[in-house]
Amino acid sequence: MFFMPYPAKLSAEAVLDAAQRLLEHSGPDALTMRALADALGVRPSSLYRHFSSREVLLRALGDQAALNLKDQVLDAAEGLAPRAALLAAAQAYLAYTRTHPHLYALLLTKENDLPLEHLQHSPGKILWNTLLLLIGRLSGDPDDTDHAVAFWTFLHGFASLEAAGTFGQSGPKRGFEVGLEALFNHMEEVGQAGKS
């Protein structure tokens, strides 16, 4: 092993870490193979030993983000009563979208065209099942798809509008809390009454 003309500098993890930093710091358009290579101190072509294309790399980032988001949501809800758990989960979800806006955007735009077999265990599906679980504890229905859709819709909508700067200088006031209260009330009311 005396000759090492080109010693290994990269690993898939190192590339992903640098890509994540670059993405969060400068946005998706700045995440080019050239810029990423510069950040890692290698030549662009070296990256293709670890990711066969930029698109594959982006999907890996998105999958990783989905799992991290799920973990933070689950941790926040841990040990709390159903309604408090959902509120904490919502706040954790929002906190993630604020600290990782570009990763979060990747998460929802790169969830398409999968081979359907593995779609059941995709990171996005795992996140969905986590929300479903927390909601079931409040509404009493362990498969309360309707409320889960409404809840996720609300969380994503708020994160998205906030990131786009739509709320403007006046801010969203207490719209987030008010909307959650409306949804939670509805979950509690309809829960024991069965499906309408």
Partner DNA sequence: GTCTATAGAGGGATAGAC
Partner DNA sequence: GTCTATCCCTCTATAGAC
State both tokens at 118.
Answer: 């593995």
Of a copy of itself, DNA, none, which one does residue 44 interact with (CB within 5 to 8 Å by kind)? DNA
121 CB-contact burial (10 Å; exposed 0-12 / middle 13-18 / buried 19+): exposed
Question: Which residues are at the interface with DNA (CB under 7 A)?
Answer: 5-10, 30, 32-35, 37, 41-46, 48-50, 52-55
Q: Which of 55/189 has CB closer to DNA?
A: 55
Mask of contacts with a copy of itself, 144-173, x by CB under 8 A? Answer: -xxxxxx-xxxxxxx-xx--xxxxx-x-xx
Q: How far is the CB of 41 from DNA (least distance, A)?
A: 7
State both tokens at 70.
Answer: 């799920």
Q: What CA–CA distances, in Å, run from 164 to 105, 158, 161, 168, 169?
A: 11, 10, 5, 9, 12
Place of tokens 């698109």: 55
Secondary structure of residue 60 in the 3-state scheme: helix
Q: Which of 53/185 has CB closer to DNA?
A: 53
Q: Binding residues for a copy of itself, per CB under 8 A?
A: 108-109, 111-112, 119, 124, 145-150, 152-158, 160-161, 164-168, 170, 172-176, 178-179, 181-183, 185-187
